[in-house]
Amino acid sequence: MKHKEVRYFFLVSLVLWSAYGSIYTAVPVYLTQLATSPSFIGLTFSTAALVAVAAQPVASRFVENRLKAGSSCNALNLHCVPLIAFAMAIIGLSQWYVYLIFAALLLFTIAEVVFVPGLDTVIGGLPTERVTSVNLRQISSAIGESTGAAMGSLCVKTLATNNASFIYWLTLSIGLLGMFALVRYRGKSL
């Protein structure tokens, strides 16, 4: 990865897919530990899916307008990170009020409907061959999603023995905000 844009894309993609894997694997584990019913878990993720479908046209128009105004797709994808960080903080707080999970998944879904197509858009503009760019996206999504799923499930299960799973979500939230600040500071020209 000789080019700065390619490294930047890979890092942001890896982080976004890691968050995705963590949310879609560890949240059901977390909700189970909070003694919610299987039907509540199903309702939670069904609602998130419906929000994603409903929000996609709005998100697409927003992204199109931002791109026309001069924003880069990389910048839009990067700005999904704080939304996901706030969603993860809310997931942590849902230990005390489980219905907050809906607000968390709403924030995450808003980020998701921007970053998933946004990553595909960025691929076309990377200074590498198209096949290499697509492979980087597939590698970052596979590594990110599997790492997020494994790390999330393991941490949530381990911390649950002390009723402390919220620590995972809050720590992840702080880490994502720190990464956002660092990448934003270091990648000013993007």
What's the pLDDT at 189? 45
d(CA 90, CA 172): 11
pLDDT digits over 39-88, tens only?
Answer: 888 888 898 889 889 988 888 888 888 888 887 777 787 888 899 899 99
pLDDT of residue 174 exceeding 80 = yes
pLDDT digits over 128-154, tens only?
Answer: 665 565 677 788 888 888 988 898 888
What's the pLDDT at 156? 85
Least Cα distance to 114 among 187, 20, 27 occurs for: 20
CATH architecture, range 4-186: Up-down Bundle (1.20)
What's the pLDDT at 172? 87
Residue pair 73/123 in contact by the 8 Å Cβ criterion: no
d(CA 106, CA 69): 26
Break the chain into its structural domains and give their ranges. Answer: 4-186
